[in-house]
Amino acid sequence: MKKTVICFGEVLFDIFPSYKKIGGAPLNVALRLASLGINAQIISKIGNDALGNELLSFIQANHVSTDTIQIDDILTTGEVLVQLDEQGSASYTINYPVAWDDIKATTTAINALKNSDALVFGSLACRDERSYNSLQELLKKASYKIFDVNLRAPFYSQALLINLMQQSDFIKFNDDELYEISGYLNSPFQSLEENILFIAGQIDAKSICVTKGRLGAVLYYNEQLYFNSGYKVNVADTVGAGDSFLAGLLSQLLVNEQPQKALDFACALAAIVASHEGANPFISSDSITKLMHL
């Protein structure tokens, strides 16, 4: 039986210097999950405008349920201005306020969540108290809560992050985020592995994963650490690579794949995404398998 994962948060357009791409971390995760055979759904809001209509059509065409996407007659569909440096690393200017700042915990959303296996959420959608309050209501209904930290300054606070971590079963950081939050918690440690275990002890987290860009990732799962040192590719841009990593990891762990194999799969998938432009390129299962076994 297929697993069902619901993602909560921003849906938007990433506006690059010469083109635009559909994105938003929760949507990127949902799209990749759907491509990997998971029933994926997104709780979000779009504007009643041309960009919103384009988003809705794209999401439906990519087999993600839009039953819980709300439409706002006043606020517009989200846009993010993306700048890339010489290495392909991205920086973002995120417009505010937009439709996904006012997501509601509707009856439809709550009922969908009751029939799901996991809820994925991030910190960015909590920048407005309206969407934050809705998330708090939905977290009470979720059976398994996955926090994709995804820090975007200035849209977070120390108190917010600790609050969300304390409600989570699984937390995903990148390495910079891990060290920033370790500092909030007054960690005395320097190594990534020690800080993973420190955070797990401080907030009673059952599972933590930390991505390290081209250097792979570390997974803490069932009280054990698993490692992958990355896969070599020619990077086009890093937009969405972490989102595909999380989707790949969840798609394997939710069907009880061995944690090491799940981590390897996720790292290979993320590397291939980084070798393409934008967050949601088509990736074949054969290409993932091939890279894993090079």
User: Cα(23)–Cα(14) distance, rounded to whole angstroms?
Assistant: 6
Paired tokens of 50: 């041309």
- Residue 51 pLDDT > 80, yes or no? yes
Q: For residue range 106-151, what is the model confidence (pLDDT) as tens digits?
A: 999 999 999 999 999 999 999 999 999 999 999 999 999 999 999 9
pLDDT of residue 137: 98
CATH number at residue 104: 3.40.1190.20
Which residue is associated with the tokens 């994963």? 209
240-265: pLDDT as tens digits: 899 999 999 999 999 999 999 999 99
The pTM for the full model equals: 0.94
Residues spanned by the domain of 87: 4-292
| For the chain, counts of helices (H) and of strands (E) | 10, 13
Cβ–Cβ under 8 Å, residues 205 and 167: no
Identify the pLDDT of residue 293. 87
What pLDDT is recorded for position 74? 98
- pLDDT grade for 195, boundaries at 50, 70 and 90: very high
Q: How many domains does the chain have?
A: 1
Helices (H), 20-61: 25-35, 50-61
pLDDT score at 218 = 98
For residue 2, CA distances in Å to 8, 9, 37, 171, 286 come to: 20, 23, 7, 23, 21
Strand 217-221 to 207-211 pairing? antiparallel
What confidence score (pLDDT) does residue 37 get? 96
Dihedral angle of Cα 131, 56, 272, 237, to the nearest 10 degrees: -70
Percentage of residues of the chain with pLDDT beyond 70: 100
Question: Per-residue pLDDT averaged across 181-201, rounded?
Answer: 97
Is pLDDT of 219 > 80? yes
Q: Is the pLDDT of residue 223 over 90?
A: yes
CA–CA dist 6, 206 (Å, integer): 20
Q: What is the mean pLDDT of residues 228-242?
A: 90
Average confidence (pLDDT) over 26-40: 97
pLDDT recorded at residue 280: 84
Average pLDDT over residues 84-104: 88
204 pLDDT more than 90: no
pLDDT digits (tens, 9 = 90+) for 153-183: 899 999 999 999 999 999 999 999 999 999 9
Mean residue pLDDT across the chain: 95
Contacts of 258 (CB under 8 A, 6+ apart): none
